[in-house]
Chain A
Amino acid sequence: MSGLVILATRSETSYLLINHLAARFDVSMVVFERPRQSKMLRHRLRKLGPRAVAAQLAFLGYDRLVIKPRSRARNAALLAGHDCRPPDSKIDVLDVDSVNSAEVAEVLREKRPGAVVVSGTGIIARRILACAPAFVNIHVGITPRYRGVHGGFWAVYEGRPDLVGTTIHLVDPGVDTGEVLAQATIAVDPFTDTYRTLPVKQYLGALDSMARAVREVLDGRARPFQRTDLESKQWYSPTPSEYLRFLREMRRLRQPEQQAAAL
């Protein structure tokens, strides 16, 4: 009962986390969920309306064409020295369409993990949550203020660079609403950080907290808590105008008197 199962989506940062945990724990299986953008799109259309979704798509296009290529070198420098290779050759890997499928429930019943680590998957159903004693999620954002996606981006957007960080929390059926095990903040560098580098830094800054939290959960020493000093809010992809405000905030942080506040 001390093994781990990891539920993740395929990405460099997930590989980073998996390799980090595999070096410290007995990871009995990794389940990769295939990305389901069309489902997310439908969900957002229903919840936010077509105009907001169109603006978000415009931003995503800009991200692909401009931000991502411009951040590549910086991200490579950040990840240098870390193991970001896919774990397929070392650990049992299963690719599924949804973490809520019967296949996953089967895996969990069979492997009987002490804890399940979650990174980047969709909402996990109650029936899956019932299959293991604890689900631990790594979330790039300080909850409950920055639930949803791009927590670092939105913290800068709101002028709170001190709240750029990562939350390790227990999973409940809501979106990043579970009880907090650990939180780690990172320093924003307004000269080199972009929409794309912040999540990488957030992951890197939380790897050790994650390992510690998982150890505590496995040992039954975890002391989960809820933060009441922050207002709860869920965030989605930015729109172009929101991105402009983010850039303005980053420029403001470049001023020498602001830099002390960010660190």
Chain B
Amino acid sequence: MPGICIISIDMELAWGTNAEDLPALARIFDEEPQVIRRIIDLFDIYRIPATWAVVGRLLLPNGHGRTPERWYSAPYLLDWLGGARAGHEIGTHTFSHVYAHDRATTREVWKEELRAAAEVSEQFGILMRSIVYPRNQIAYLDLLPSFGIIAYRGLEQNWYGHRLGALHFLDRAAGTPAPTYAPRTLLAGDRLVNLPASQFLIGSNGPRRLIPHSSRIRQARLGLDRAVRRGEIYHLWFHPFNLGGDPRMLDTFERILRHVSLRRDREDLAVMTMAQAADHVLAGAGLPGEHQ
């Protein structure tokens, strides 16, 4: 069985940024639509579909009292993604980017968030089947299936135990092989699949500039090699603004895509959206021995 490659993108513009950090990032947010456009174009060139986990409020036309509006509303995304040839999936990143581990986010609040996100999806005729948790704070998994969600992106299971900080930085700088996951280990329920992250495509701002671009590519390449060798899942993720600020980042991203497409064209690798991968895992679990 070939390996599987998933790319998911957290589409939140400024919804996930604390107010005090906004001024420093203003330029990046202003440029973000152009970066998104470029990313969609690259996906089209290499015919690679991705899962775009979009904050529900972004799709609604106007203001939520937050300004500048262009940082909090992006209805054009639907046209862009719908017009792309690659066949992207639009998942959800909740309605308003709430943090599931926040004490204020009770079960009721979370349910309301999902309900509101589902409503937005319904309004635009989107099938909401995948979720990415804001800040990867995972909770209330049992509520997902009732909203039709079959896939969520779990935490990266790496050697340093999903901590940010020095070890994370070192790991990215060294470009160690990204972890990959055997499909049969990923069932999280009868109708729910955990698709853990393999690699966060780390941006190139602040001290992260010290991380060589070749390390990011190397990490992806070794992860993909491993996924192909073992028939496992490799899952890359990032925010569009991670690719902003440094023009070399888009170049790095393109080189990773080129590698993915090379292996896809050799039929070593199947590129899937999160929902497709989840379907694949569920089908494999339902029919033991038939997906060999």
- Could you mark each residue 202-226 of chain B with 1 if its beta carbon is under 8 Å from any beta carbon of chain A, else 0? 0000000000000000000100000
> In the complex, are the beta carbons of A70 and B262 less than 8 A apart?
no
Scoring A73, A191, A251, A256 by chain B CB atoms within 10 A of each residue's CB, the highest score goes to: A191
- Asked if A254 CB lies within 8 Å of chain B CBs, one says yes
Interface of A is mostly: helix
Residues of A contacting B266 with CB < 8 Å?
A: 191
- Asked if B268 CB lies within 8 Å of chain A CBs, one says yes
- Could you mark each residue 52-74 of chain A with 1 if its beta carbon is under 8 Å from any beta carbon of chain B, else 0? 00000000000000000010011
Residues of B contacting A73 with CB < 8 Å?
A: 229
> In the complex, are the beta carbons of A256 and B229 less than 8 A apart?
no
- Asked if B111 CB lies within 8 Å of chain A CBs, one says no
Interface of B is mostly: helix
Interface size on A, residues (CB 8 A): 8
Closest to A256 in B: B262
- Give the complex CA separation of A73 and B263 in angstroms: 18
> In the complex, are the beta carbons of B262 and A254 less than 8 A apart?
yes
- Give the complex CA separation of A125 and B229 in angstroms: 44
- Give the complex CA separation of A70 and B230 in angstroms: 9
A24-81 residues with Cβ-Cβ distance < 8 A to B are: 70, 73-74
- Give the complex CA separation of A192 and B269 in angstroms: 13
Nearest CB on B from A80, distance (A): 15
Residues of A contacting B268 with CB < 8 Å?
A: 191-192
- Could you mark each residue 209-239 of chain A with 1 if its beta carbon is under 8 Å from any beta carbon of chain B, else 0? 0000000000000000000000000000000
Residues of B contacting A254 with CB < 8 Å?
A: 262
Residues of B contacting A192 with CB < 8 Å?
A: 268
Residues of B contacting A191 with CB < 8 Å?
A: 228, 262-263, 266, 268
Residues of A contacting B229 with CB < 8 Å?
A: 70, 73-74
| 12 sample A-B contacts, Cβ–Cβ < 8 Å, listed by A number | A70-B229, A73-B229, A74-B229, A191-B228, A191-B262, A191-B263, A191-B266, A191-B268, A192-B268, A251-B221, A254-B262, A256-B262
B225-273 residues with Cβ-Cβ distance < 8 A to A are: 228-229, 262-263, 266, 268
Nearest CB on B from A183, distance (A): 28
- Give the complex CA separation of A2 and B263 in angstroms: 50
